[in-house]
Amino acid sequence: MNRSLIALISAAASGIIFGIGLSIGRMTDPQKIWNFLDIAAIPSGGWDPSLAFVMGGGVLVGLVGLRLERWLGLTKPIAAPAFIKTHRVRIDAPLVIGAAVFGVGWGLSGFCPGPSVADLGLVPGDVYPFTIAMFVGSWVAGQFLEWSERSPSRTADARAG
């Protein structure tokens, strides 16, 4: 079996397992996300910490899994030419502003990107306006970021800053 086919099967398996995980953890339900984000409900006992357990479970496996290549001595992935990850380390304005805007949208909707795509398998007729708008928002912002990185004045500003 050739490597690109293995890579596609692996991507499919990864997506399916991710979707099963979201669904079992009930992260597909915006009500459950709101019940986590509503920390004012802690004193009354109405708070639902489940989301933290989902993240905790994911990080627990990730701490091992995302380092596995070092322990296995892999110089490249099993079915791809190279490990691709960001080299960004700087805490910059786009990171904080983007995360802040995302948080507002997440709080207002109860949806982050994964569950909004996963819910196309559960309640497609209800969720699709969000999912499509999310793709459009990401694409437009991506075009703007590419443009601003190419623009000479912005580059000069970035260097000066």
Site for other proteins in 113-132 (CB under 8 A): 113-114, 116-124, 126-127, 129-132
Q: Tokens 């075009």 belong to which residue?
A: 143
By CB under 8 A, is residue 141 in contact with other proteins?
yes
By CB under 8 A, is residue 40 in contact with other proteins?
yes
List the one residue out of 97, 98, 130, 96 whose CA is nearest residue 114: 130
Q: Which is nearer to other proteins, 74 or 156 (CB)?
A: 74
Pairwise CA distance, residues 48 & 81, whole Å: 42
Quick one: CA dihedral 70, 83, 2, 13, positive or negative?
A: positive
DSSP-derived secondary structure for 69-132: HHHHT-SS-TTSS-----------HHHHHHHHHHHHHHHHHS--HHHHHHGGGT-HHHHHHHHH
By CB under 8 A, is residue 158 in contact with other proteins?
no
Pairwise CA distance, residues 155 & 67, whole Å: 35
Least separation, in Å, of the C-beta of 14 and other proteins? 4
Within 3-22, the residues that bind other proteins by CB under 8 A are 4, 6-8, 10-22
By CB under 8 A, is residue 138 in contact with other proteins?
yes
Q: Which is nearer to other proteins, 96 or 156 (CB)?
A: 96
By CB under 8 A, is residue 133 in contact with other proteins?
yes
Least separation, in Å, of the C-beta of 147 and other proteins? 13
Least separation, in Å, of the C-beta of 53 and other proteins? 4
Within 62-121, the residues that bind other proteins by CB under 8 A are 62-66, 68-69, 72, 74, 76-86, 88-91, 94-109, 111-114, 116-121
31: which 2 tokens? 């009500």
Pairwise CA distance, residues 48 & 110, whole Å: 14
Among 43, 45, 73, 152, binds other proteins (CB under 8 A): 45
